[in-house]
A and B are shown apart, each in its own frame.
Chain A
């Protein structure tokens, strides 16, 4: 059977797949909500994506938690097919334990601790 999805997806010259955060179109001011999404590099941030791999809510809820969800099976598939995760996605996955901790996160935490320890 011919896989129609590969024929329907637009052919980008030198384009690659990225895993990044896209703003879910709730259209409410000062209330963002991100979807973790596998999309082509050249597409708009909120435009057509290939597959949704999870979500991220940056504002903490009433129990002071920020909720994140991942579809690890499909993330493995896309990274195996050669997708690049962006910095915030890599940081989130590092916190989740799927990836190693991102070095910038460690350095920023150290800097903050230095600021609080000094006084």
Chain B
């Protein structure tokens, strides 16, 4: 029946008998129905509060009046709620609102269509321009490629001519003996001397 407490509920406990050493507080429902009754409560008989019959009659009358009035109020409020709902759904204002919304919707759709057409035109122009640009670029690329081809052909021709020129100095089977004799007759000296100032001396010791 009593529970040990501490902290905030100290004020509550101080109101109850603070004779015990530990501060306690009353808690409902600690005993079950099979526990024995406490010694201080042995002869106790629980008695309901006394009822005055005159007052009770008056009170009953007042209660009937009160309940009648409450029921009437409730029904009135219910009716008001239903009426409000009905007016909102099928009232005069609702039609106007619906009409206005439909008009707004039509106007917006028309605006949207206009915008779409305008964007379509711009898009077509843009695409046309891009196509033309692409075609021009293709033509230019073709021309470029042609030019490069021509240049490479020319280079190859030049190389061939150079080779032909050099072919006159080649050593062949007929020239072999002649060229050997020429080489042996003309010894070439590739030695040279150079100093730090850069003076080149090609004259060296013979043989």
Chain A residues in the interface with B (C-beta under 8 A): 29-30, 76-77, 79-82, 99-100, 102-104, 106-107, 110
Taking a contact as CB atoms closer than 8 A, the residue among B66, B74, B79 that contacts A103 in the complex is B66
Q: Which residue of A lies closest to B77 (CB)?
A: A80
Do the beta carbons of B73 and A102 come within 8 Å of each other? no
Known interface pairs A29-B8, A76-B80, A80-B78. Does A99 touch B62 (Cβ–Cβ under 8 Å)? no
- List, sorted by A's number, 7 A–B pairs whose CB atoms are closer than 8 Å: A76-B81, A80-B77, A100-B65, A100-B69, A102-B66, A103-B66, A107-B55
Residues of A with C-beta under 8 A to B58: 107
B70, CB-defined interface residue at 8 Å = yes
Do the beta carbons of A103 and B59 come within 8 Å of each other? yes
Closest 4 CB pairs of A and B: A80-B81, A103-B62, A80-B77, A80-B78
Count contacts between A and B, CB distance < 8 Å: 42
B63, CB-defined interface residue at 8 Å = yes
How far is A110 from B66 in the complex, measured between Cα atoms in Å? 17
Do the beta carbons of A103 and B81 come within 8 Å of each other? no
Do the beta carbons of B80 and A103 come within 8 Å of each other? no
Q: How many residues of B contact A (CB 8 A)?
A: 19
Do the beta carbons of A77 and B81 come within 8 Å of each other? yes
Residues of A with C-beta under 8 A to B73: 79, 99
Most chain A CB neighbours (cut-off 10 Å) among B58, B79, B81, B82: B81
Do the beta carbons of A80 and B63 come within 8 Å of each other? no
Q: Which residue of A lies closest to B9 (CB)?
A: A29
Do the beta carbons of B70 and A99 come within 8 Å of each other? yes
Do the beta carbons of B8 and A79 come within 8 Å of each other? no
How far is A77 from B76 in the complex, measured between Cα atoms in Å? 11
Do the beta carbons of A100 and B70 come within 8 Å of each other? yes
How far is A16 from B66 in the complex, measured between Cα atoms in Å? 22
Q: What is the distance, in angstroms, from A86's C-beta to the closest C-beta of chain B?
A: 13
